[in-house]
């Protein structure tokens, strides 16, 4: 019995934003531009360049405007950025960014404690962002962090996630990402939630974003694929993590996802060798190892070599 798989997926490289914003070393705009241009060359269809948020809050993203002005844009590639408010739309328009993304936490208690309103009420306040983006010819999407569980609530009822989806649709946002920033998702849960979301909201363009906090990130992507989802986020070398979750590891490594797809015959349109070269470059820039399996072990097919007859020794290992 074979797995029920999609034939192709669309991958967004979020390393320049969600990965680098968690690093102590702040890369220069020129280094970021180099990385993004190399990812464009590798065939990534979507790249999250950075975020238009307060430089005091996230100094690693302070030069996102300069990065957008410096990258070489390839036809057919979507270059997007995260924003927090209408000011972010203004900055996007000024530097030529044509796609922005908003975010809200699915944790009601978390949102109430930080913003004194429910997640759905937060999304309702995004209407100004949507209006500004449309007026400027900028695409806009939304994401829901902690959609599969949170450190504050543990379980997140599906009905709470649906309220946020309804609120996004009410302000005109129809591209929505379900994010497991806390790394609490597991495959059967992902399959069930994704199946239900597909059924209840067939016109939504869905994305999935998983962290590999407990080693289940790539298994969750596979579960999403089996549920029919075809859009996923990943980060070069697995760089990133969630600063609000104790012990949280990074995002799912892009090259690990690409390798899985290549082995299973799922098309991505991305050159795995070029993607791995970018990941090796980023490891050199940040100065520490990461949780990328492929950077440690290499591709499976690289292990297959022809040996002269008689030189294959019997090696039994327990």
Per residue in 61-71, pLDDT tens? 999 999 999 99
Q: What is the C-alpha separation between 212 and 252, in angstroms, rounded? A: 5
Distances (CA, A) of 264 to 6, 13, 195: 10, 20, 22
Mean predicted lDDT score pLDDT of the chain:
92
Find the catalytic residue in 12, 97, 129, 242: 242
Give 172-181 pLDDT, tens digit per residue: 999 999 999 8
Confidence at residue 238, expressed as pLDDT on a 0 to 100 scale: 95
Greater confidence (256 vs 115) lies with 256
Confidence at residue 111, expressed as pLDDT on a 0 to 100 scale: 80
Average pLDDT over residues 193-213: 97
Cβ–Cβ < 8 Å for 117, 131: no
Sequence spans of domains, the chain: 10-303
Average pLDDT over residues 157-171: 96
Q: What is the CATH number of domain 10-303?
A: 3.20.20.70
Give 210-248 pLDDT, tens digit per residue: 999 899 999 999 999 999 999 999 999 999 877 666 666
Name the band, by pLDDT with cuts 50, 70 and 90, for residue 163. very high
Across 250-260, b (16+ Cβ under 10 Å) vs e yields: bbbbbbbbbbb
Confidence at residue 117, expressed as pLDDT on a 0 to 100 scale: 86
Q: Could you tell me which of 217, 216, 215, 213 has the C-alpha nearest to residue 234?
A: 217
Q: Which residues, in sequence order, are CB contacts of 317 under 8 Å at separation 6+?
A: none
Tell me, yes or no, if 261 is annotated catalytic. Answer: no
Q: Which two tokens stand for residue 267?
A: 């098309």
Name the band, by pLDDT with cuts 50, 70 and 90, for residue 182. confident
């Amino acid at each position: 019995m074979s797995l029920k798989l999609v034939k192709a997926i669309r991958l967004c490289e979020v390393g320049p934003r969600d990965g680098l914003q968690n690093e102590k070393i702040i890369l220069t705009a020129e280094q970021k531009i180099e990385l993004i241009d190399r990812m464009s060359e590798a065939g990534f269809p979507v790249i999250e360049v950075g975020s238009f948020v307060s430089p005091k809050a996230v100094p690693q993203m302070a030069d996102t405007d300069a990065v957008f002005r410096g990258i070489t844009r390839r036809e057919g590639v979507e270059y997007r950025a995260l924003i927090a408010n209408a000011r972010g739309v203004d900055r996007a328009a000024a530097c030529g960014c044509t796609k922005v993304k908003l975010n809200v936490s699915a944790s009601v208690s978390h949102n109430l404690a930080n913003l004194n309103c429910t997640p759905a009420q937060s999304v309702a306040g995004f209407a100004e962002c949507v209006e500004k983006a449309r007026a400027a010819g900028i695409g806009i999407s939304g994401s829901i962090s902690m959609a599969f569980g949170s450190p504050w609530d543990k379980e997140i009822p599906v009905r709470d996630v649906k309220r946020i989806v309804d609120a996004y649709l009410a302000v005109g946002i129809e591209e929505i990402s379900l994010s497991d920033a806390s790394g609490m998702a597991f495959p059967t849960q992902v399959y069930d939630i994704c199946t239900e979301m597909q059924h209840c909201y067939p016109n939504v363009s869905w994305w999935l974003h998983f962290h590999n906090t407990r080693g289940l990130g790539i298994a969750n992507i596979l579960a999403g694929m089996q549920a029919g989802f075809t859009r996923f986020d990943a980060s070069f070398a697995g760089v990133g993590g969630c600063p609000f979750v104790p012990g949280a590891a990074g995002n799912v490594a892009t090259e690990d996802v690409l390798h899985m797809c290549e082995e299973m015959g799922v098309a991505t349109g991305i050159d795995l060798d070029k993607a791995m070269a970018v990941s090796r470059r980023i490891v050199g820039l940040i100065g520490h190892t990461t949780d990328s399996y492929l950077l440690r072990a290499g591709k499976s097919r690289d292990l297959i070599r022809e040996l002269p007859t008689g030189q294959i020794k019997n090696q039994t290992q327990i």
